[in-house]
Chain A
């Protein structure tokens, strides 16, 4: 993975830059010791590591502004970091950058049930946003699987999704406003506890911009009243195609489950070996979850099961109680852990039109056999968001490269059938060089121009999202 050559002029000024940072921040908020900086050398894409020049942990919007103004004046690149759970390398440093971590900014600023919003500092973790309101019967809907650790700042940067976004949408659909600090230190309030942008929808483009347009320090989030209850059903089929058709029929019937999760045979076998959830061993499993009162759940599940029966399922398993519901989710929720147990793996998240599901799964199988690396599929089927897990051995020379090459081919396939490279993880460095598969030069230029407006010197997270060759002129400027 190519990263830009660090600027020797910045590296040689490290002591002076650190001294200036220490002048605007409390003593414990600046980290420059090589050993301590190791913490920040990578995110959840651990194959790539590079310690930064320094790291700062501000506590307020004013401190963030001061840091950015200073780095802007010094010409030092800044890489914002939430909790460092990016699977795409979104928070990967360069040796000449300052890591700006928002982890210490985790306060709840305002909770307003009547107006259905919460305002938090952006370093607060996703799950603890729900934690702040759930005793009163509310929740924050986007639920990425890293929700215990991941920060709202990172969720906004990547426009994170989760298993339940089929019904509730992703981050951008649940974000009402932000406090954004631009690279030159300017503090901008965008949106607020009301719907609709004023004028052009800046909030819409800030969300998902991977920390390249500004640093979000506060966020106003929509919160929702918790449904009365939820219940999953497990459906087993003897072919991926059949499971795919069943998904399509459920959607067409006008039923809106909160989640439709899909697991293929390699994934089922691995999860079963690991979590022993008692899954039937078959070609394809669907977990469909619906919400409401017990009677409403019965009404929806009856309709869903009637559709499923038309597709000759191997097994249909309803959850009679909490424990059975937990067991149905157990395997799915431990899928990534199960894979990690057997192998190193790379997790992709391309999205495809739901109608292409059977074709794409068949092609992935063929490609996997041709390369000789196993691929297990577990994904959000309702919205076509795939999660192929390519298994490899990091200690075997050449395996990582073969894995990356297969991954790139799978993502090309996603684009080919009308989908996209990434549905919820973001581009980061991981898919940077594939952007040209999905976008023309003009498509990318339009995006680069948005960054030109927010960050004319290209100092914020500059080596991400776009191929380095495409951004070279701007980064050097």
Chain B
């Protein structure tokens, strides 16, 4: 099914007599879902409002990210949270859509400074499991009117409703950026160096590790030069890279290009930054590679052999955090098992928003295995 507007989509959901798999551009879905009819949202495409002076953009959920980024770039603006493009990592083609980005709460390196996709999301419209259209939030920066279902929808992987329209706060592109790059360094030293940067007053907009530590600042030219110099004093041995060279480094971090084409299971781990070395240590007997973003708060792992599910999950559960299987054919749940009371609330929300259980059934569930569908 490929509805072309919200009313048609609502009609399609009401008329559905079996499970639906909700698809935008098909570029970032994870996990093996059961047999289901595809509900293609790419027909709900187009920017409906863009006010550069108010930093606001509203568009259909099926609008390609590339189209939005081009329109924003013409006004020297952007989506602040740096939409990851995981097509090479996951071996996908297709055009990523805004709705898919929201459903996955897909967020890049700038998260340490400006927050995630969910923090830039101002409003949503969606169709619930009964085929009813619901709106929440709006197009203004500050809104506490009623419950924040905007956050609830972001990252819910299409389990609570089918997004039809999303509103974003956008950001002006700063005039300059610089990245300080270290020499080769281990994970523990990297986390320590990133903490130095992130606890400094120099407004760091990226702190990552790919074998080297990368620390980014952005802003007005004079300010960027000043902050890069101040950070360099605190990070001995780092060299500065600017402009397009800097941007290319961060595109690599954002898209996890280090693992594209690599063999093995790909994990995405959220943990307390200082726990990152312990997470990696848990995998020491297993051939693996690791990169870190968000100062160590986000760990990407490429694990060969049996994929490391058991070892990794138990380490992350012990330390606090969660591990999601992004790619790989493993007999384990894709999402980290939730503690009982949280799982009960999640199940309750899904049952009330989608009483027939037709949206992406199996998503988040214990029976959801990691083969890429």
**Interface segment out of the listed B18-26, B86-94, B148-156, B282-290:** B148-156
Which chain A positions have C-beta within 8 A of B172? 251-256
Which chain B positions have C-beta within 8 A of A293? 226
Which chain B positions have C-beta within 8 A of A440? 135
- A188-B341, A195-B298 are contacts. A420–B223 as well, Cβ < 8 Å? no
Does the CB pair A228–B144 fall under 8 Å?
Answer: no
B178 CB–A CB distance under 8 Å = no
CB distance from B234 to the nearest CB of A (A): 12
Q: Mark B107-134, 1 if CB is under 8 A from A, else 0.
A: 1000100011011000000001000111
Does the CB pair B199–A114 fall under 8 Å?
Answer: yes
Q: Mark A105-145, 1 if CB is under 8 A from B, else 0.
A: 00000001111100000000000000000000110000000
- The answer for the CA separation of A427 and B144 in the assembled complex, in Å, is 8
Which chain B positions have C-beta within 8 A of A200? 152, 155-156, 159-160, 346, 349-350, 364
**Interface segment out of the listed B28-36, B53-61, B253-261:** B53-61
Q: In the complex, which residues 209-262 of chain A have their Cβ closer than 8 Å to any Cβ of chain B? A: 209, 225-228, 248-249, 251-256
- The answer for the CA separation of A287 and B56 in the assembled complex, in Å, is 23
CB distance from A397 to the nearest CB of B (A): 31
**Interface segment out of the listed B180-188, B208-216, B240-248, B268-276:** B268-276
Does the CB pair A426–B144 fall under 8 Å?
Answer: yes
- The answer for the CA separation of A296 and B221 in the assembled complex, in Å, is 10
A447 CB–B CB distance under 8 Å = yes
Does the CB pair B53–A354 fall under 8 Å?
Answer: yes
Which chain A positions have C-beta within 8 A of B345? 188, 202, 453-454
CB distance from A187 to the nearest CB of B (A): 7
CB distance from A202 to the nearest CB of B (A): 6
Does the CB pair A384–B152 fall under 8 Å?
Answer: no
Q: Counting chain A CB atoms within 10 Å of each CB, which of B51, B143, B364 scores highest?
A: B143
Does the CB pair B297–A197 fall under 8 Å?
Answer: no
- A113-B199, A195-B116, A431-B145 are contacts. A202–B346 as well, Cβ < 8 Å? yes
Q: Counting chain A CB atoms within 10 Å of each CB, which of B145, B148, B336, B349 scores highest?
A: B145
Q: Mark A356-399, 1 if CB is under 8 A from B, else 0.
A: 00000000000000000000000010111100000000000000
Q: Counting chain B CB atoms within 10 Å of each CB, which of A113, A195, A355, A449 scores highest?
A: A195
A159 CB–B CB distance under 8 Å = yes
Q: Mark A299-332, 1 if CB is under 8 A from B, else 0.
A: 1100100000000000000000000000000000
B238 CB–A CB distance under 8 Å = no
Q: In the complex, which residues 41-63 of chain B have their Cβ closer than 8 Å to any Cβ of chain A? A: 51-56
Q: Which of the four size classes fits the interface of chain B? A: 35 or more
- The answer for the CA separation of A454 and B338 in the assembled complex, in Å, is 17
Does the CB pair B115–A169 fall under 8 Å?
Answer: yes
CB distance from B243 to the nearest CB of A (A): 17
Which chain A positions have C-beta within 8 A of B350? 200
- The answer for the CA separation of A466 and B111 in the assembled complex, in Å, is 34
CB distance from B215 to the nearest CB of A (A): 14
Does the CB pair B220–A202 fall under 8 Å?
Answer: no
Does the CB pair A208–B147 fall under 8 Å?
Answer: yes
B71 CB–A CB distance under 8 Å = no
Query: B140's contact among A196, A198, A420, A466, by CB below 8 Å, is which?
Result: A420
CB distance from A143 to the nearest CB of B (A): 14
Which chain B positions have C-beta within 8 A of A425? 144
Does the CB pair B132–A165 fall under 8 Å?
Answer: no
Does the CB pair A465–B146 fall under 8 Å?
Answer: yes
Which chain B positions have C-beta within 8 A of A352? 140
- A197-B155, A453-B345 are contacts. A252–B52 as well, Cβ < 8 Å? yes
Does the CB pair B346–A351 fall under 8 Å?
Answer: no
A477 CB–B CB distance under 8 Å = no
B327 CB–A CB distance under 8 Å = no
Does the CB pair B353–A187 fall under 8 Å?
Answer: no
- The answer for the CA separation of A450 and B220 in the assembled complex, in Å, is 44
Measured CB to CB, the nearest residue on chain B to A165 is: B142
Query: A353's contact among B105, B139, B201, by CB below 8 Å, is which?
Result: B139
- The answer for the CA separation of A425 and B335 in the assembled complex, in Å, is 36
Does the CB pair B145–A422 fall under 8 Å?
Answer: yes
Does the CB pair B136–A443 fall under 8 Å?
Answer: yes
A161 CB–B CB distance under 8 Å = yes
Q: Counting chain B CB atoms within 10 Å of each CB, which of A292, A445, A452 scores highest?
A: A292
Measured CB to CB, the nearest residue on chain B to A205 is: B152
Does the CB pair A208–B148 fall under 8 Å?
Answer: yes
Does the CB pair A248–B222 fall under 8 Å?
Answer: no
B339 CB–A CB distance under 8 Å = yes
B74 CB–A CB distance under 8 Å = no
- The answer for the CA separation of A408 and B133 in the assembled complex, in Å, is 26
Instruction: List 6 A-B pairs, minimum CB-CB distance, nearest first.
Output: A204-B151, A254-B172, A423-B142, A383-B141, A453-B348, A248-B53
Cβ contacts A to B, 30 pairs, < 8 Å: A159-B148, A161-B142, A170-B144, A187-B341, A188-B341, A188-B345, A189-B339, A194-B272, A198-B270, A199-B342, A199-B364, A200-B349, A200-B350, A205-B152, A225-B198, A225-B201, A249-B53, A252-B52, A255-B220, A296-B222, A351-B141, A352-B140, A353-B51, A384-B54, A424-B144, A438-B145, A440-B135, A443-B136, A447-B146, A451-B147
Q: Taking A354-B51, A451-B147 as given, write out 7 further A-B residue pairs in contact, using a Cβ cutoff of 8 Å, ordered by the A residue number.
A: A186-B341, A205-B152, A207-B151, A422-B143, A438-B138, A444-B146, A452-B352
